[in-house]
């Protein structure tokens, strides 16, 4: 099969047939050339994936559990801002939203596309590709174009919920294309595999594979419909339980009905089914590497989380774990130092990739690398005490910023309202679902002083 092969309807395909379509492409693989041993970098960026569903990417779950696979999960990972466009701009630039200028989904055109992972890596000799979702609103009222730094650019456009998984528009190397006969995750995976297979073995590459899954309306591939039917999915206690010390915007939300709560459970189940095609895609991309996997860093993460009724809220933008915490897995190339489990956020992704690629970190980046080649491990900046999170605000959820350590979180709203949660039980009982605001608890007086001091040093304020 050639890269110009016609699109095929995948609805009734078996898993084996789909993997054959994606992975069995007739380009030869070869030993990596000794002339450039810098690692390849693959980022698999899902859309709106709940932090506790990493295991729903079935192939990845099995690899993490397999001894010696090189895969590890990163348990404390967060989105700097829990909204698609600001989060993606931060990932690409290594800058906080207040410095990228991308504060909301309508702000994408403000990103400086001349200073991103794509331009830095391409300038260092990497072959680069984006396959999937780029930034909301692309091409921003202009004619379709290929942004600076991308050698291969296949951008899926998401005009409405109806086009998330089928009947969607794409800009392929600047040319508009409408796809009617394929499931989006599979269609994109084929092109990602093509990029991997066709990159010269003596040139390192950077691939950002960004499917729309598992974004609402959570439509799985036909072959996966009902696959999570028997999965036990419980309701978190912060959906219908008491919320002590909740802020005014949460108290103003209506109490939810039993029917709505049942719908959220069903949506969680369909989210898991939608991720099974991501599992197939990830497996196919890794298989396309052949024996180059040992020389490849693979990061699997979501742009942010998604709340299915936690704190009476459905969606994103909230400061709670359901919105800001993300699933994250990492395959380390050989000869890599990876920090022990420390809190990280999307602002740290660009510095980490640049560190692994041995590319100097530009002064504009604000994150801290959490991995590096062994020979450079002693030059890593000290890990921060916490991650910093923020949201610019709207009519429903006011402007907030937050600091999250291993165990504690302090949230502060623009009007001065604060929330303090002991998620890990550092001082009192663990409260992982953020149901008990400890702000006025005397036992947390010292912790509150420390967190306020940390929040005052938010790097985004510089």
Quote the percentage of the chain above a pLDDT of 90: 85
273 and 393 in a single domain? The answer is no
Query: Does residue 27 lie within any of the structural domains?
Result: no
Query: Does residue 13 lie within any of the structural domains?
Result: no
302 and 428 in a single domain? The answer is no
Per the structure, the complete domain to which residue 358 belongs is given by 36-384
Domain stops at, among 384, 406, 436: 384
Query: Does residue 25 lie within any of the structural domains?
Result: no
284 contacts 17 by C-beta, under 8 angstroms: no
Position 397 pLDDT exceeds 90: yes
Domain stops at, among 384, 412, 447: 384
The total of structural domains in the chain comes to 2
d(CA 52, CA 460): 28
For residue 220, the 8-state DSSP code is -
**72 vs 8, which has greater pLDDT?**
72
Phi and psi of 70, rounded to 5°? Answer: 85, -5
Position 462 pLDDT exceeds 90: no
284 and 429 in a single domain? The answer is no
Task: Determine what percent of the chain falls in helix, strand and coil, rounding each to the nearest 5.
Answer: 35, 20, 45
368 and 265 in a single domain? The answer is yes
Q: What is the CATH number of the domain that holds 327?
A: 3.40.720.10
Structure confidence by residue, pLDDT tens digits, 241-278: 999 999 999 999 999 999 999 999 999 999 999 999 99
Helices 184-198 and 258-289 meet at what angle, rounded to 10?
Answer: 20
347 and 410 in a single domain? The answer is no
Domain stops at, among 384, 413, 448: 384
SS (H, E, C) 190-208: HHHHHHHHHCCCCCCEEEE
127 contacts 151 by C-beta, under 8 angstroms: yes
As a whole number, mean pLDDT of residues 157-169 equals: 92
313 and 398 in a single domain? The answer is no
> What pLDDT, on the 0 to 100 scale, is given for residue 30?
34
pTM exceeds cut of 0.85: yes
408 and 347 in a single domain? The answer is no
């Amino acid at each position: 099969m050639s890269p110009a092969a016609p699109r095929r309807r995948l609805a009734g395909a078996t898993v084996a047939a789909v993997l054959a379509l994606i992975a069995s492409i007739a380009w030869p693989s070869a030993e990596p050339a000794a002339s450039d041993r810098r690692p390849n970098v693959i980022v698999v960026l899902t859309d709106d994936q709940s932090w506790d569903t990493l295991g729903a990417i079935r192939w990845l779950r099995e690899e993490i559990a397999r001894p010696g696979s090189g895969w590890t999960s990163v348990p404390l990972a967060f989105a700097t801002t829990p909204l698609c466009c600001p989060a993606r701009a931060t990932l690409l630039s290594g800058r906080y939203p207040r410095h990228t200028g991308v504060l909301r989904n309508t702000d994408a055109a403000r990103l400086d596309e001349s200073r991103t992972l794509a331009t830095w890596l391409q300038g260092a000799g990497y072959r680069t590709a984006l396959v999937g979702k780029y930034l909301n609103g692309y091409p921003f009222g202009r004619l379709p174009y290929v942004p600076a730094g991308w050698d291969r650019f296949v951008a899926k456009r998401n005009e409405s919920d109806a086009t998330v998984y089928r009947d969607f528009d794409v800009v392929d190397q600047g040319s508009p294309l409408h796809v009617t006969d394929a499931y989006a995750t599979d269609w994109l995976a084929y092109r990602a595999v093509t990029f991997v297979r066709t990159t010269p073995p003596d040139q390192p590459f950077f691939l950002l594979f960004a499917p729309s899954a598992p974004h609402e309306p959570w439509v799985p591939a036909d072959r996966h419909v009902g696959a999570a039917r028997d999965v036990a999915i419980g309701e978190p206690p912060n959906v219908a339980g008491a919320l002590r010390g909740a802020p005014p915007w949460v108290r103003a939300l209506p109490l939810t009905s039993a029917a709505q709560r049942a719908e959220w459970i069903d949506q969680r189940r369909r989210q898991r089914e939608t991720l099974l095609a991501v599992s197939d895609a990830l497996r196919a991309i890794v298989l396309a590497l052949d024996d180059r996997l040992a020389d490849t860093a693979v990061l699997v993460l979501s742009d942010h989380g998604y709340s299915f009724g936690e704190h009476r809220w459905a969606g994103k933008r909230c400061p709670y774990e359901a919105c800001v915490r993300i699933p994250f897995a990492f395959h380390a190339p050989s000869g890599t130092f990876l920090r022990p489990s420390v809190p990280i956020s999307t602002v740290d992704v660009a510095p980490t990739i640049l560190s692994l690629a041995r590319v100097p970190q530009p002064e504009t980046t604000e994150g801290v690398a959490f991995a590096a080649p062994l020979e450079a491990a002693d030059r890593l900046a000290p890990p921060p005490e916490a991650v910093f999170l923020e949201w610019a605000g709207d009519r429903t959820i006011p402007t907030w910023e937050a600091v999250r350590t291993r165990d504690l979180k302090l949230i502060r709203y623009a009007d001065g309202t604060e929330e303090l949660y002991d998620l890990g039980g550092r001082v009192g009982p663990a409260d992982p679902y953020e149901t008990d605001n400890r702000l006025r608890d005397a036992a947390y007086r010292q912790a509150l002083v420390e967190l306020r001091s940390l929040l005052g040093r938010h790097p985004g304020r510089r």
